[in-house]
Amino acid sequence: MTELENPNAPSSRDAGPRLRAQGLRWQPPQGAWPGPHPLQDGLDLEMGPGLHLVLGGEGRGKTALLGLLGGVLAPASGALERRLASQAWPDPLAEALDGQLSRAWLAAEQARHPRWNAGVASRLEQAWALAPHLDKQLHMLSAGSRRKLGLLAAAASGAALVLLDLPFAALDGSSRRVLLEVLEDAATSGRQIWVMADYAPPPGLEAALFASRIDLGD
């Protein structure tokens, strides 16, 4: 496997962030998957700025593909080029964070991302009514509120690569509408790659908004 992470590397196409993979293959750890075949096998893709969609049924490798693109998982073979200055995949749902104050977790995310957009963070904090929860420990928040906190951090991060795993899970109707607006903005981004993984295309987003679509099957 070849992985390149050089945000200053020249490109014949553009100078923005870029993900390219050729023949990407990933095998889950022994015993972690009952089937005989790897979840990703010979996958080719190219992603530039905009919104990208990864679809697949339960156990088809959606989260694994995000992990590969984010450099968290190592492929068994194939070439992966990641020309990125930064990335965001915040997960306030992790049990290890249960005792942390929401405000402190959000401050740590802001410190991690030099391109943090305080205006976006403020608007989403208000739209998702998160202010009353910021001085609570994360375990005191509902799953929906914790997800919204993570989505706020992702949207405000300004990172070159933003990864979203099942972003609509546990959101009510009004919160989903706010997220749709966030994703519509992401689709027009000229300097960020957004990759969202879900079981099906989210209702309310036009298919034309997605720069690419990867279907891993049911």
183 pLDDT band (50/70/90 cuts)?
very high
pTM: 0.89
Measured between alpha carbons, how far is 79 from 49 in angstroms, rounded to an integer? 20
Residue of 124 and 13 predicted with greater confidence: 124
Return the CATH number of the domain spanning residue range 87-215. 3.40.50.300
Q: Per residue in 153-167, pLDDT tens?
A: 999 999 999 999 999
Predicted pLDDT at 76:
87
The full 3-state SS of 134-171, as one line of letters, equals CCCEHHHCCHHHHHHHHHHHHHHCCCCEEEEECCCCCC
Q: Per residue in 196-210, pLDDT tens?
A: 999 999 999 999 999
Predicted pLDDT at 16:
87
Say yes or no to pLDDT of 105 above 90: yes
Q: Name the helix (H) or strand (E) containing 183.
A: helix 173-187
Predicted pLDDT at 61:
87
> Which residue do the tokens 């990208």 mark?
52
Q: Rounded to a whole number, what is the largest CA-CA distance in the chain?
A: 50
Predicted pLDDT at 132:
96
pLDDT over 90 for what percent of the chain? 78
Residue of 123 and 76 predicted with greater confidence: 123
**Domain range summary for the chain, segments of one domain joined by +:** 2-49+63-83, 87-215
101 pLDDT band (50/70/90 cuts)?
very high
